[in-house]
A and B are shown apart, each in its own frame.
Chain A
């Protein structure tokens, strides 16, 4: 941008101000109007907007519901409006004093809805927009607004990350791309990518979710995945209000996995030996801890291994170096879940002051939240303040600002859903290992044959001083000039700044079998800075009382950057917090830094038209340019239109008394997505990187020479990914009690940027994204809302929503058989995306059952002198396809009790070709039901939320039911695994034969698939409002006390810890539904108070 151009803009603005001032002085003769606005019950209503129709001249009622203001002598009609009430138009005539009774608009048809760059009345909306108001957001104790949105809105699927301060994954109407699927968040006009956990959800006034392209196309540039508009609270005219909310809760951990105790673990080892055909005394029989006898014997000591009391000289104990951490066996078995999971408190306090006059308003708030994790030594803390202010300097000039600052701190081990976190280590640790050795230092897998798990208590303890501290400033300021009552221009400058400081301490773990050699400290400083500048012009006019026009024209520029600085050192003389700073580190000085940026620039325009509020139309056009594409492909054009017809306004419908409102809507629109392939997809680059391109040319033992290598292949032809949505919607209100909103949509993503697949003969490179794929989502969103007043005092409100989407990949690239595999977990692939299937379908073998003994010939083996020396199984011809016999001569896998995999391609052998789609992580539908009852001073809320028909891969079972590593095992492997005896007796068998060398059976198969459906009682709340008679004297307006249970119960068939699986991966959709060791959902019991002055 050229500076001189900017200057020009301000010059023009100054001129405008002057001219407007001049224009406004032409108003002359005026008269005074006054009146009172009352509710149906006769009580005055403060804060009601009263304006002369078609102008901005007006006022807001005071505490007593009264208003007085000057109007032009020729003013004809007053419009009286208030949220939740039916808007009334009153002819002025000769009247100067009014008594106006507002009727409750129970279903909020005149509600104002926040849409892109403005607001719209709900009744004239033609796009698919859902809103959530403040009261719903306050119900669930969670750090992030996204978590609070779960189950509230149709068409939105939310998966929570239960780690304190974790970000939820939000998907609007399915999954549109193999690339980034995060929706665009706009907070008070400022687009943000910084996540919602750092924003105090108590500051939010409303959330609008723009679901279809006709409503979101105005944000074309990044709107392909839907847009979530967040509006924070602003001051209203009236006396100052003070509000204080506090809550305190206890979170309780849920279930743990059923794992073996120490004796059972030994029994399992013996069973595995027997299953191998071993006898006592054979090579491979027994275990150095449990001995080599006929049955396992728990030793008294595991370090030194397998020793009994009296055999050990405890005075030889030495720690940490040389390590001789003498450790006693945990005879009963350590329950590692009990060791790391504990009830934990959560508390939250918010204080806000709002107020204003007819010349403006203010809202100040401060909040504090502290959530300890149920996993020891984890937690989240947030301090936030916000200041929003608006002021009308004159009738034609308005300015305002929003400033939100928050500081949050996540402490402790922060990873979730991976094999290395403490939750996973709890099943990777054998029960024989105690938490501490004889001297109180941590015990671990230095004990022989105990595998390579890491003591989770030690991990959590050593990581307790790790932190992740964010300072976030989200701010904007605007100037609005009302050139005429119809025409206004607005300029808004916004900024989103996040600065993060992170500390990662790695403390030596001498008890661990893969102990690290030195203490290490890494400190990170990184942050994003984004600013945007929006200029809009708005023209609103009604002609002949019939033709209502609203015209918007605007431009927006956004620039974003990210920078990182990171430094580390190892080897510290002390790990004391006061000592262990970078300067004290002795070795391995590292410093890393990086910097990235992107920018966009856009023009947009929108025309809304309606004829007497009956026939509605909207047309949107947006043009965007993105720095991520080369010059030739930089600009994208995104059009949209929508139409609506309010049938209930037609004369022929006036006889249908039970139908209060009926509107049909149709919309079509196109959106774009540029958040793909990194920031520099167009460029081929080379990288200097010490891990990949350095070499010690001089022969030095401790230094290397720098080199460079080809890192990324560019695609200068890359262009916008486009998503086209067609939406058909119906809104109806029946008996003024039941409101129904139904949307049916089809969303097609074309030119989907897909990472080019090239063979390794091009090098091991980051491959560019090319526009080649196509994806389709069909679905419907249904919302129902029902209100009933039963008797005098009982109010019932029920809101329910159901969302369904069906995702299908139409095309990945020119190869119809292309398979985009998900990430490998321990050499196995769990998800794959391919043409004709939903994205990230589960992929693997199909288990048809277990091989049975009658399928085999048992052949004696002979030793050198001709004596029978064991036997082997030979699969009978035609009994079943064996595992990979073509390459395994003497297939040792196909034995009785092993999985029979289905021979999909019927080639007589089981190979990798026999994998297919075996499940889907996508739900048939997700839903939420909120029931609210009010009786006199009491209120009761019940909120249920769930997901139906989605599969889950229980990857944890690979660790606990198979010999992946020598960690602990599930009880079913001992008691319900296949053995000849159990098979013969018809006993319950849920697991295959327990053998040590079972790398084949732990390959991904239908065995690991489980039904992930669940129904969760998310919220149960009982509140009591203290009666006015008590409060009046204290000057308190209202005081509500409540108790609450969150996640009281979950109904699911899933055998793992929790069926709600979030994935913190960069591209979480590629491993969706895979349980690698999830941070479990906790129950929370809360006491809270809402106080208003």
Chain B
């Protein structure tokens, strides 16, 4: 019996065998730890991960990818007089308040924009945080990485500032981001980052055309100056790019919107899209614009009919017999080009006056060939003409002959490798013209504008199958020097609109020119007579130039006493 008790005791010990710690030391699978990042590879990967935000990622959250799209189609174009949200009224309905200027701090797109851009800031900060401890990088290599990270960080902060106004500044040294107040506009920090980039980036990266170059940084810096109205700071930088940069205008305008001419000689900074790169649904092919292709067009197979040009934009392309735009603000409901909603075949009424040929490279119009996809049929190619009008967005579309380049997986069937040209020489030329107009050198301002108009004049026009032009195209340079600074500015503003329509810049330009209130209210009043969703909508100057700080972010950004450190944008309190 004693033996049994003794053996039971031994058994008990065996029963309570203790596991060694490695039984529980289970590490995350397939994930990098902070320790693995302070290497050359780690920094390169972090940097690529930061570039990845620029082209719009965030497949995970509906809306974030569209709200934070680099093309700014929602904030720069739908919120302007260039574009409607389009599609069905109820689809992505949280854009409606942006379009109609009644978004509040709970608006989903406002929050999604904030989310996407701060994710970029945090990724750029990670590069800068790990960089000093990296051993296998030379100082020169570190500077190159730093300059790229700062270029990208400045970009993210420009976007945040343009849309939300005062935003909190989070950098690589911030310990507790939630306690950082938004007490000033971030232009000084943005300028510092972009200047560093302009001084330290190489003029060219050789094969890596996707990386930001010194010229990209300089162009961006000039844009940052212009957004603050600092013409005298902007001018020398623009002159430098114009004179010393290796860029030339493309022969024909529409080449800037074609896959075949990605990264062309006019391009200064291009957002790189790649489809069918092995990632399901081609998330790296400009998902920010994935809704903005014709919807339900037989044989085209793209989605989802968003982002439609306005009547206002189309009528802006009318030219007089002199081939010049109509610069007097006489746009009325009568100028909305007529279309009959009942007509569904190709014989729709076309505007038979003269139009700038850039119109049909920018806008899909009934009766006009839509690239090589055939003639756009009535409103048959539109998802809901009562909500979005008869026109379609064209610049991001791929040609039928290039269908194999577009995504072959996922529901976002339009995404394709047609890059978004964020900055090209045309920007530099027109901005420089603006600077010249401001200081009164009107002759140079005129010749710069005419450089753009002459290129338009010499560009290909859209042709019908029989080889004849699809409309009465006419565009001419200004025959004489602008008579005054005011006329020059008017002409330049109009030229900006025509050249860069639907490219997400218009709203911010209206704001920096100080004419957002008058232009937008005229537009809303006129379009409101025909487009129900704009009826009764009003732009309030002093408020609607910016959007709110998302309420959830204010609620979460609190100091130790629980008080929010983020003040609301003026007018949204």
Contact = CB atoms under 8 A, between A and B. Distances in A.
B401 interface: no
B353 interface: no
A686 interface: yes
B37 A686 contact: yes
B384 interface: yes
Interface string A872-891: 10000000000010111111
A867 interface: no
Contact of B533 (A697, A711, A997): A997
A698 B208 contact: yes
A560 to B, nearest CB: 10
Interface string B189-212: 000000000000000000111110
A286 B48 contact: no
Contact of B10 (A2, A15, A691): A15
Given A702-B405, A708-B32, A709-B52, A884 B104 contact: yes
A208 B66 CA distance: 52
Contact of B94 (A510, A535, A827): A827
Interface stretch (B231-239, B247-255, B358-366, B409-417): B409-417
Contact of B280 (A5, A324, A691, A891): A691
Contacts of A2: 20
Contacts of B62: 824
A675 interface: no
Interface string B169-182: 01000000110100
Interface stretch (B76-84, B117-125, B509-517): B117-125
A962 B88 CA distance: 13
A693 B17 contact: no
A615 interface: no
Chain B, interface size: which category?
35 or more
Given A517-B413, A688-B32, A708-B49, A448 B380 contact: yes
B32 A514 contact: no
B308 interface: no
A702 B275 contact: yes
Given A23-B4, A568-B280, A699 B262 contact: yes
Interface residues of A, number: 140
A707 B123 CA distance: 11
Interface string B253-287: 00000010011000000101111111111011000
Interface string A584-611: 0001111000111111010100000000
Nearest to B298: A323
Interface string B105-129: 0101000001110110111001000
B4 A686 contact: no
Given A9-B17, A912-B106, A761 B178 contact: yes
Interface string A796-834: 000000000000000000110100000010010000000
Interface stretch (B53-61, B318-326, B445-453, B462-470): B53-61
Given A16-B7, A20-B4, A680 B24 contact: no
A879 B407 CA distance: 54
Contacts of B45: 688, 693, 706-708
Contacts of A589: 278
A553 B29 CA distance: 35
B413 A514 contact: yes
A982 B553 CA distance: 45
Nearest to B334: A864
B296 A445 contact: yes
Interface string B8-23: 1011111111011101
A354 to B, nearest CB: 33
B259 A701 contact: yes
Given A627-B25, A695-B284, A761-B168, A700 B274 contact: yes
Contacts, number: 405
Interface stretch (B435-443, B487-495, B534-542): B534-542
A45 B118 CA distance: 77
Interface stretch (B133-141, B219-227, B299-307, B473-481): B299-307
A23 B277 CA distance: 73
A446 interface: yes
A890 B15 contact: no
Nearest to B119: A764
A762 B168 CA distance: 12
Interface of chain B, main secondary structure: loop
A520 B282 CA distance: 14
Given A696-B272, A708-B45, A827 B93 contact: yes
A696 B90 contact: no
A631 B21 contact: yes
Contacts of A520: 409
Contacts of B91: 965
Contact of A760 (B3, B16, B553): B553
Given A595-B29, A764-B119, A963-B90, A690 B299 contact: no
Nearest to B262: A699
A286 B295 CA distance: 20
Contacts of B123: 709-710, 763
Interface stretch (A120-128, A481-489, A660-668, A1085-1093): A481-489
B26 A757 contact: no
B48 A707 contact: yes
B344 interface: yes
A693 B52 contact: yes
A555 B58 contact: no
B7 A701 contact: no
Contact of B263 (A594, A699, A814, A964): A699
Contacts of B23: 1, 557, 559, 599, 601, 627
Nearest to B345: A304
B408 interface: yes
A554 interface: yes
A1030 interface: no
B229 interface: no
A884 B556 contact: no
Given A284-B386, A965-B90, A761 B177 contact: yes
A599 B126 CA distance: 33
Contacts of B106: 911-912
A692 B4 contact: no
Q: Which of A6, A305, A709, A890 has the most B CB atoms < 10 Å from its CB?
A: A709
Contact of B57 (A9, A283, A516, A693): A693
Contacts of B177: 758-759, 761-762
A996 B3 CA distance: 89
Given A517-B413, A690-B279, A697-B210, A890 B538 contact: yes
Interface string A477-499: 00000011001010000000000
B26 A887 contact: no
A587 B276 contact: yes
B408 to A, nearest CB: 4
Nearest to A592: B280
A288 interface: yes
Interface string A125-142: 000000000000000000
A825 to B, nearest CB: 10
A575 interface: no
Contacts of A594: 29-30
A292 interface: yes
Contacts of A886: 104
A889 B538 contact: yes
Given A12-B13, A697-B272, A966-B88, 12 more contacts: A12-B10, A15-B10, A22-B3, A537-B8, A590-B278, A692-B49, A692-B57, A699-B207, A701-B405, A707-B48, A708-B32, A890-B535
Identify the 7 closest CB pairs spanning chains A and B, nearest first.
A707-B48, A890-B536, A763-B122, A707-B49, A690-B279, A685-B31, A701-B417
30 contacts: A1-B19, A5-B17, A15-B7, A15-B10, A292-B342, A306-B344, A483-B7, A514-B303, A515-B301, A520-B409, A557-B23, A588-B408, A594-B30, A601-B23, A690-B278, A691-B59, A692-B283, A694-B284, A695-B48, A699-B208, A704-B279, A709-B49, A709-B126, A764-B61, A887-B97, A911-B104, A912-B104, A964-B90, A966-B88, A996-B386
